[in-house]
Amino acid sequence: MNAAGVIHAQPPTLIALVLFTLVSLGLGVVANLVGRKGNFLEKYFLGNRSLGAFAVALTAAVMSGGTFVGFPSLVYSFGWVVGLWICSYMVAPLTILGILGKRIGQLSRRTGAITLPDLLRERFGSPTLGLLTSILVMFFLICNLIPQFKAGAVILRIVLPTETTNWFVTDESANSADVAYYVGLAIFTATVVAYTTYGGFLAAIWTDVFQSLIMAVGVLLLFPLAMHKAGGIEQATLKGMQLAGNGFGFGPGAGRAFHPLGLAVSFFFMWAITGMGQPSTLVRLMAFRDSRTLRWSIIYLTLYNMVIYVPLIFIFVAARSILPNLKSPDDAMPSLVISLANPYLAGLILAAPYGAVLSTVSGWLLIVSSGMVRDIYQRFLRPMASEKEIARASYLATVTVGLIAAVAAIRPPEYLQLIVVFSSTGMAAAFLMPALLGSFWRRTTATGAIAAMVIGTAVTLGLYLLGTLGPDRFHLDWLLPANPEIGAKSSFRPYYLLGLDPCIWSLVASLLAGVVGSLLSAPPKPERLSLFFDAQPPDAPASATLDLHPELGTKRA
């Protein structure tokens, strides 16, 4: 099968996408002007805890480059079975928002926590746990930012006119497609870093809501175009089976390599369960307005996920018959849009994946920069720093993290979804059990939380090292068989122990470590537990706030 070259858009598509980007930048400016009242840290990183139901639902949807670039590339490559990859997203609102939502909101208000490390540090009274959380959040989220920057650059590479990118080619052997990628990466980086740095949390939220609405419109516009071009879903499936083998039209097993039953089970847990442990989700749960807001957001998010994900499966099953020879599966979304829609409509539809990437990156940039500023700079270096100094440090941290991720994305992975899965698994393995146990089990201790975090992370990293290098590199081939030939083929992949994804093993290990570590260590102090589990007066001091600014305690007295 001959690979097709990169498809490029016409100038009107670029114009439409530029207008979308300008609106996003404008929202960032307005958010900064509107949100100037209040404490800088709480405003910049949590939007003064004022999110309504619609904002919580759309910003907790976790749409990203994985949704519109990585996930479609897997459907395009492997067919209907990838629907099992994402089916648990239909119940994810009940788990992500319903189980932990109210308790995380309560704990964050009672402690005055602004970041996830804040929350865990104050719940367990452990600076060590807070520092460890900060380090792991920054590591996994920077890993996750790399494929998001790639996704943004891939979309712009296809949208940028070839004549423009050829201006940058100085060597006859240079590949203009590669140059277009670098130009797109630079434009994307400048855009998302600018509005996130200037507007902070409210800019990320406002643009999330706007971009989420555009995503839904884009998917609903693309669906009938793809069905018409493919001649219906039956013809699309049959053509895909001719091109990719009979497995393109079958479910788990059936002699196929991708998504056997073990992985189908694994990825139900991946999205429905591990989604609760993502720092981006937990931060959103610290910022909603009240319990009524949370209940309505569950309904909104369930409906929104159905509108996005179900049509995407149909669209990219059809894409395989419409564009059978794509050079890179990650090009499937933008290439299909440009092939099916007129230039102006293509710009509107492409705003969906581009908006998903922008919204994801803006939120994650703030989480990483908040860890650097709140949990390292202010906590250990400048505990009495002025608000103006904290503001400067926050802006600098956001820019720095964005540039680091952009540099790392210069040589991106082939399947960006594999990096998304790795970092999502790692974050859940590190943070879900400490948050879950700390929210509902009074006996959980700092030792247990640290054990859960360390063991869960170690299992994740160990299985990925084992899968990438092979058991023989660790002289374990006598004990472990060769890695099963399942999943997308890539040099970076996990070891599927007993056919299950590492997310299963890391969550089980983290839970056991948290329970055993808590039972073997001294119980927490009753007076500390009372703050988190018993009714408190309205003016009860928030321990995190008083720890950093003890003068507030004098004012209250």
**Higher pLDDT among residues 503 and 249, named by residue:** 503
CA geometry: angle 10, 16, 20, nearest 5 deg: 145
In 160-232, alpha helices (H): 162-166, 176-230
Q: Report the C-alpha gap between 122 and 182 in whole angstroms.
A: 43
| pLDDT tens-digit map of 208-247 | 677 677 778 888 889 999 999 999 999 999 998 888 887 7
pLDDT average, residue stretch 27-33: 65
Looking at residue 37, its pLDDT comes to 53
| Residue count of the chain | 557
Q: Which of 149-158, 238-247, 252-261, 514-523 has the highest mean pLDDT?
A: 514-523
pLDDT band at 346 (very low <50, low <70, confident <90, very high): confident
Q: Report the C-alpha gap between 365 and 351 in whole angstroms.
A: 20
- What CATH number does residue 72 fall under? 1.20.1730.10
pLDDT of residue 97 exceeding 70, the answer is yes
pLDDT of residue 487 exceeding 70, the answer is no
Overall pTM > 0.85: no
Sign of the alpha-carbon torsion through 258, 261, 266, 272: positive
Q: Which of 167-171, 310-314, 551-555 has the highest mean pLDDT?
A: 310-314
Q: Report the C-alpha gap between 73 and 528 in whole angstroms.
A: 49
pLDDT band at 518 (very low <50, low <70, confident <90, very high): very high
Per the domain annotation, does 255 fall within a domain? yes
Per the domain annotation, does 276 fall within a domain? yes
pLDDT of residue 168 exceeding 80, the answer is no
Per the domain annotation, does 311 fall within a domain? yes
Q: What percent of the chain is predicted at pLDDT more than 70?
A: 77
pLDDT average, residue stretch 57-67: 59
Per the domain annotation, does 511 fall within a domain? no
Looking at residue 432, its pLDDT comes to 93
CA count, 13 A, side-chain hemisphere, 525: 8
Per the domain annotation, does 425 fall within a domain? no
Sign of the alpha-carbon torsion through 246, 247, 249, 253: positive
Nearest to 62 by CA among 115, 116, 136, 141: 141
Looking at residue 488, its pLDDT comes to 59
Per the domain annotation, does 2 fall within a domain? no
Q: Which of 4-18, 24-38, 165-179, 377-391 has the highest mean pLDDT?
A: 377-391
pLDDT average, residue stretch 1-23: 65
pLDDT average, residue stretch 103-118: 81
Domain of 117, in residue numbers: 12-412
Q: Report the C-alpha gap between 420 and 291 in whole angstroms.
A: 31
Q: What 3-state class would DSSP assign to 115?
A: coil
pLDDT of residue 322 exceeding 50, the answer is yes
**Choice among 160-169, 248-257, 488-497 with the minimum mean pLDDT:** 160-169
Looking at residue 549, its pLDDT comes to 43
Q: What 3-state class would DSSP assign to 167?
A: coil
For the chain, what is the mean pLDDT?
77
Count of structural domains, the chain: 1
Per the domain annotation, does 537 fall within a domain? no
**Higher pLDDT among residues 160 and 122, named by residue:** 122
Per the domain annotation, does 73 fall within a domain? yes
